[in-house]
Structure 1
């Protein structure tokens, strides 16, 4: 009987293991980049809970990639996730809406990487972006779905990394 109770918790522990491994692996390769993580309690993202990520850019010479990662489970009720983003800072204002296809259209299988119940889908919001001044910048993310509360969204990770074709010795805080 105890084994059956353990099996009930395998997806959650597998999910935690995948996140731990991805955190450790992701932390090793940031080289001058930053990574901000927001974990949703109860794996629910309410539309009123807009996410605000702040960073300090101290080197404007290299270009940067601004990347979003969404960790989700099969309880997410839709195929796509639409996210509005706003980048604000010194003489900078960029905004847009991105569509993340989380599930296969034909078969309904979850897309992205990861094992078990949790998957991670990654998308580059802005590639090769040049910040105009050394200053504090904010990125705000809000989901743009019809339903106010989205089940199955576990975590959002925002990464700002030096663009692959530029000097990797940059300064982000």
Structure 2
């Protein structure tokens, strides 16, 4: 998890580095988002680059829902902080062993988002 300290600027890229040692095993890549009531939107757009070394092997623009139509947060948690899991890639097969980086930038229309506390990546 990377702490965003309640403010995430469009200029701030979150980089998650990891190593793939076995290319015969498919992986699931998931995101974990923690937000509080300062977050003004019901969704979160993300621009994502998956890189092997310096080579970009995948780019995506994703839209995840954080709240339903009534404004109720979809995540779980006690108090004002909610945590929600999102699937990014399922049964993904990395073609080469080595070092990888997931680079994530928020893609909302505001330059600075308030209310996102932490963002994490889980590879299983």
TM range (shorter): over 0.9
Structure 1 residue 137 corresponds to structure 2 residue 106: no
Alpha-carbon deviation of 1:92? 6.2
Q: Distance in 1 between matches of 2:79 and 2:64?
A: 20
Structure 1 residue 97 corresponds to structure 2 residue 65: no
So what's the TM-score if we normalise by structure 2?
Answer: 0.94
RMSD: 1.3
Write the deviation string for residues 86-138 of structure 1: whole angstroms up to 9, x where unpaired. 11116761111111111111x21111111211111111110000011111001
Aligned residue among 69, 72, 95 for 1:109:
72
Structure 2 unmatched runs, 5+: none
So what's the TM-score if we normalise by structure 1?
Answer: 0.68
Which one scores higher on RCO, CA 8 angstroms, separation ≥ 6? Answer: 2
Alpha-carbon deviation of 1:59? 0.8
Q: Which has the higher strand share?
A: 2
- Aligned to 2:78, the other structure's residue is in SS state coil
Considering only CA atoms, is the larger Rg found in Structure 1 or Structure 2? 1
Structure 1 unmatched runs, 5+: 1-36, 162-173
Aligned to 1:88: 51
Q: Distance in 2 between matches of 1:75 and 1:92?
A: 34
Q: Which has the higher helix share?
A: 1
Q: Distance in 2 between matches of 1:130 and 1:114?
A: 32
